[in-house]
A and B are shown apart, each in its own frame.
Chain A
């Protein structure tokens, strides 16, 4: 036991959520170790489009409004978070604040947008209806037959890979340690309390606090109802550089998100297929078909990458963050479609949990009773 490596905090999972928690914890002077099974940002982070879009993503109902409140709080934190990260690595921030357009191709989609508009107006959110001509003035690459658009001027986006690269530098500078290729086999407990992990190699590591940030794989190490929801996404590259479109464009079954250097993320499918990462033709065809009906110019772009990732789905689409009462394990999982957006807020909450503070009920892991828990 005396020879065992000890840390204040062991973070399991080196995705964007885990790295953000590690950075923030290290900044507070805690001794932090991140354990990553493969390489950092290889999971959902790598396939994420990086939309910071609480208003575009809102669903009807109370769960939708709870998620909106969390999303707005985290979105507010993002500019300072990105600035601080950029300063830590000596680069300009890559947060994009051009806003989002939600597009309708035809009468049916315009009717659906009117309902979306009314819902957001009822909640007092910043949203504006644009005529097709107005939308095309600010995005001339949009198809002339566009029917209408909604403008969400406050919605932002960020390249998750840039964030992770920056987090790795910032986190290490703050003193956190990272082990890649370190697969955790189980959480170890002393007198029923989570106090470390055992790796698949058999090595045991001790941690005063153990934080689970393992995305879609959370269910392997804890009794949480997280399921994988597959998303296929492609990166397109404009050899002419930036400028084809500047806003995030959303349409009925997808989105096109501009990044630096003329890169566009076009996503994404949502498939209930378990832990499957196969790339298949249909979603890619449908995304290209739908997106090119709105931005014909994308068919001239280079296909830079096609990938699949697994979103960590939770039963109500809200994350599970905080301390499990039974064993003290700290969860930061179930972020579903909103992991990048919710990362700064999640890190704040996890540090609160480490400090013993109460977290909001809407993220409490215990809200999923076994009657409704899946798996």
Chain B
């Protein structure tokens, strides 16, 4: 029997930009204190897709991040972190495509150094251009339902709204907006940024997200490997709970074992 969430997406498998992924958790590779910890966290997370900030590495440098991820058998999702203009983001995406032989790009166009919030008009402009260039664009966006719709209309393969600012660990600041985005979207919604601990990831899935991206919550935890497993479990639990159909909220108690109308179970 398929769950309700499965019916909505057509399947329990997670398909992003035409690729079927083994997990609804996408891992960010930034912030790990060693490559060994990153490798162990990737394995503990069960994730099949790991982001790499293309401006902060040389993708051609052997023995480093890209080789490690290749050896772990996970796909790489390059991102344009650190770009402040559409021009820079587009150039970075092209660099990533050339170096990594992938059309996938997680598009980030940052508007402000202090908050690292997306610059909406610049993001949309970059997304349009990259889609025209044949990229599968996964835009990091604010939790604005209208902007999310515009990005989807432009042809983005998913939308990736923030829960709260990058690295803040503040969770989902506006669950109502995330739910609205999920309700209207016909592409996958991936909660990006803001996850601080497992319950944030579970909430995202319960709100209707198709997947969660987590970086700092895992890489900067005291035990990143344990946190990777915990957040992976929360993503799975939140997805299952969404499918299971939660009970309505009530102001007053309602006994779970009412005396009236009880069946006789012998």
Contact = CB atoms under 8 A, between A and B. Distances in A.
Interface of A: 59-61, 63-64, 119, 219, 225-228, 271-276, 313, 315-317, 372, 374-375
Contact of B60 (A63, A225, A274): A274
A24 B36 CA distance: 32
B170 to A, nearest CB: 11
A374 B68 contact: yes
Contacts of A63: 34, 36-37
Contacts of B65: 272
29 contacts: A59-B33, A59-B34, A63-B36, A119-B222, A219-B63, A227-B61, A227-B64, A228-B61, A271-B56, A272-B57, A272-B64, A272-B65, A273-B61, A274-B58, A276-B61, A315-B34, A315-B36, A315-B39, A316-B34, A316-B36, A317-B36, A372-B36, A372-B39, A374-B63, A374-B68, A374-B71, A375-B62, A375-B64, A375-B67
Contact of A374 (B33, B37, B60, B67): B67
Contacts of B57: 271-273
Nearest to A274: B61
A61 B222 contact: yes
Interface centre among A272, A273, A313, A315 (most CB of B within 10 A): A272
A227 B223 contact: no
Contacts of A273: 57-58, 61
Contacts of A226: 63
B132 interface: no
B91 interface: no
Contacts of B33: 59-60, 64, 317
B99 interface: no
A371 to B, nearest CB: 9
A317 B64 contact: no
Contact of B35 (A60, A61, A275, A315): A315
Contacts of A225: 63
Nearest to A269: B56
Nearest to A225: B63
Contact of A274 (B34, B36, B62): B62
Contacts of A60: 33, 222-223
Contacts of A313: 35
A64 B32 CA distance: 12
Given A59-B33, A63-B36, A315-B35, A272 B222 contact: no
Nearest to B58: A273
A274 B223 CA distance: 28
